[in-house]
A = this chain, B = another copy of it.
């Protein structure tokens, strides 16, 4: 029933590539028996060749430094791109597709930037371009949005989709430690890169969110239209105030269809109710909460990175492509990007977003301060839900004032913050963190 020996070629043989080659070299019988597809690892292209990889049994002649031995090789049916970056990967994937090969990639940056072009090319050439491993590796969220929830209007999705940030914030919640200290620990443990900018500034989460919202809303937003904030300014003080107020701080990637049929796409630190399932996703784990109008609230939890979880997703994509080759499933993959139809929703600018806010101010410890600040908020039609003002404990005559607002628009809040920061009584840097209550299940 299955095409024998569907040949797979890898571009790149780093962490994920090693995991993929372990599965393909060690488990082809299992996959053939359970999924009905016979896969053969035929070629691995890598810039500089390592002598061997632990736990991988590679056939002679399998390794090469020349990627064209993969993408131009007539024997190869499926090309797996794991080299990252957006230039070489784009060219090689383009070439592979034009050569009629099905492609699997884990490259979120490439798809966020050139997805539309590549999916169209795949469609024209009747091949699959699968990308489950690009977002939250161990969680099959791409397939779920694309297939399982196809009958739903997605009302909102909330993702913890950057393991580095979640590890750092979880550690900050567990111990009385500051961001810089935990970041160093995360780097030592391999949970954070030597240059962690992409992760901690929220850009990695933003690239993944763009893929999710493209699937959920058919919306191809340019990446510079997103509102993206990282976690570098979150202090231990914020963590503790949040806890006192019944919240946990997480870096959330949010896609939300609001009442005006506009889609909010944003990444920022967020206060979540302590009791919510998302708030309890700790360590380097990922989770995505999707609320569909038919299916209701759902949540998916798993590892977002790492050799084997990501390889598991890549091989599932290879198997799907293998089924397309053996006629068991077709090649069209990603209607969201392929359609030229105008989506029935538009992007909501961050200024128009409505939410509740946590505001932490450093103020002079003297009478009348709260009155001044609340009158600024009132003038911008922002009402206060609760206030924490602790007795002074710092030596410099300042105090912390924490305010939780009712729902306000971002534009009003930003105007108010500008005025508040200009007050003489406000002496230090202010903190503003958005609150999401909706995910309280």
Contact across chains for A316 and B147 when beta carbons are under 8 A apart: yes
Which candidate, A28-36, A53-61, A65-73, A155-163, is the interface stretch facing chain B?
A28-36
Interface readout for A219-242 with B: 1 if CB under 8 Å, 0 if not?
Answer: 000000000000000000000000
- Is the C-beta of A297 less than 8 angstroms from some C-beta in chain B? yes
Contact across chains for B319 and A147 when beta carbons are under 8 A apart: yes
Bound Cα distance A149, B441 (Å): 26
- Is the C-beta of A9 less than 8 angstroms from some C-beta in chain B? no
Contact across chains for A335 and B35 when beta carbons are under 8 A apart: yes
- A306 vs chain B, min Cβ distance (A): 8
Interface readout for A327-345 with B: 1 if CB under 8 Å, 0 if not?
Answer: 1111110011001010000
Residues of B within 8 A of A285 (CB): 441
List the interface of chain A (C-beta within 8 A of B). 1, 19, 23, 27, 30-31, 33-36, 132, 138-140, 143-144, 147-153, 218, 277, 280, 285, 292-303, 306, 308-309, 311-313, 315-316, 319-320, 323, 327-332, 335-336, 339, 341, 441
Question: What does DSSP make chain A's interface, helix, strand, loop or mixed?
Answer: mixed
Contact across chains for B23 and A294 when beta carbons are under 8 A apart: yes
Bound Cα distance A308, B265 (Å): 26
Answer whether A296 and B138 are a contact pair too, CB < 8 Å, given A34-B335, A36-B335: yes
Contact across chains for A316 and B34 when beta carbons are under 8 A apart: no
Contact across chains for A140 and B150 when beta carbons are under 8 A apart: no
- 20 cross-chain CB contacts under 8 A: A23-B294, A31-B150, A34-B218, A138-B296, A140-B140, A140-B144, A143-B143, A147-B320, A148-B313, A148-B316, A277-B277, A285-B441, A295-B309, A295-B312, A298-B301, A299-B300, A301-B301, A323-B330, A328-B330, A330-B330
Contact across chains for A143 and B151 when beta carbons are under 8 A apart: no
- Which chain B residue lies CB-closest to A282? B441
- Which chain B residue lies CB-closest to A146? B35
Contact across chains for A308 and B295 when beta carbons are under 8 A apart: yes
Residues of B within 8 A of A153 (CB): 30
Contact across chains for B151 and A27 when beta carbons are under 8 A apart: yes
Bound Cα distance A1, B332 (Å): 10
- A86 vs chain B, min Cβ distance (A): 26
Which 5 A-B residue pairings sit nearest by Cβ, starting from the closest? A140-B148, A328-B330, A151-B315, A298-B302, A294-B312
Residues of B within 8 A of A315 (CB): 150-151, 294
Residues of B within 8 A of A152 (CB): 312
Bound Cα distance A335, B313 (Å): 19
16 new A-B contacts, CB < 8 A, other than A152-B312, A295-B309, A329-B330, are A30-B153, A34-B218, A34-B335, A138-B295, A140-B148, A143-B143, A148-B316, A149-B312, A150-B319, A151-B312, A151-B315, A285-B441, A294-B308, A294-B309, A295-B302, A300-B301
- A341 vs chain B, min Cβ distance (A): 6
Contact across chains for B33 and A339 when beta carbons are under 8 A apart: yes
- A30 vs chain B, min Cβ distance (A): 7
Residues of B within 8 A of A301 (CB): 277, 298-301
Residues of B within 8 A of A35 (CB): 150, 335
Residues of B within 8 A of A311 (CB): 151, 294
Contact across chains for B140 and A316 when beta carbons are under 8 A apart: no
Bound Cα distance A139, B319 (Å): 22
- A2 vs chain B, min Cβ distance (A): 9
Bound Cα distance A312, B151 (Å): 6
Bound Cα distance A139, B36 (Å): 24
Contact across chains for B151 and A31 when beta carbons are under 8 A apart: yes
